[in-house]
Amino acid sequence: MTVIVLSGPIGAGKSSLTTILANHLGSKAYYEDVADNPVLPLYYKDMKRYTFLLNTYLLNKRLTQINEAISDPNQNNVIDRSIYEDALFFKMNADSGIADPTECDIYTDLVHNMMEDVPGNPHKKPDLLIYIDVSLETMLNRIKKRGRSFEQLDTDPSLKEYYNRLRTYYKPWYENYNESPKIKINGDEFNFVENKQDQKAVLQLIDQKLHDLGEL
């Protein structure tokens, strides 16, 4: 039972690559249910009020997914979003005065405590983290194309600055990430959704990494 998780900013292509990779590996895909998330539209309207609730909601959902993925007998199940990135959103909001820094610290400790390897408890950390790196331009194009109303700049022009800030938080986050082996995919260079050659190249990179880790 090995688990691969995707990471990267909004619109990076995590869900798409999850589907492509799970099909390629013949494993199971686990998705974040964005449409049924009752807190997300509220969060986009009032981040100050809803950062803590959104992250508590997501923590619960992601833990359920991890428990399912590690109990599934398939090799190399794929989850479309890592549990570790949520603290990055929380920290970014705390740094800009939107969220309470004490809430952020308590939340971050809680995640690490829940994910810690403890004798007698199953190992919950992923076996590989795939990070999709994209420019702000690519993020904005994809967000527009997908059309979720609460994410649109037309709904709230200040979101451009929010998305830009998010990107700047992701880079050091990935560099410091050390919970599992990791690999970075350039989501600007490889259009793995629309271009078959690019898709093949990305799958080759991931296969090679899994092979090096002894997971293939």
Annotated binding-site members for ATP: 8-16, 142-146
Are residues 48 and 41 in contact, defined by beta-carbon separation less than 8 angstroms? no
Contact predicate 11/139, CB 8 Å: yes
Number of residues that bind ligand ATP (CB under 6 A): 17
13 interacts with ligand ATP by CB under 6 A:
yes
Nearer to ligand ATP, 87 or 128 (CB): 87
Listed ranges 32-40, 109-117, 170-178, 197-205: which one lies at the site for ligand ATP (CB under 6 A): 32-40
- 100 catalytic? Reply is no
Q: Which of 33, 80, 109, 154 is catalytic?
A: 80
Amino acid at position 34, single letter:
V
Cβ-contact 21, 67 below 8 angstroms: no
Residue from the set 77, 151, 159, 182 that interacts with ligand ATP by CB under 6 A? 151
Q: How far is the CB of 15 from ligand ATP (least distance, A)?
A: 3
The reply on whether position 14 binds ligand ATP by CB under 6 A is yes
Q: Can residue 54 be called a binding residue for ligand ATP (CB under 6 A)?
A: yes
Q: Is 20 in the site for ligand ATP (CB under 6 A)?
A: no
Q: How far is the CB of 142 from ligand ATP (least distance, A)?
A: 6
Q: Is 187 a residue that touches ligand ATP (CB under 6 A)?
A: no
Any contact of residue 139 with ligand ATP (CB under 6 A)?
no
- 32 makes contact with ligand ATP (CB under 6 A): yes
Q: Give contact residues for ligand ATP (rule: CB under 6 A).
A: 8, 10-15, 32, 34, 40, 54-55, 58, 81, 86, 89, 151
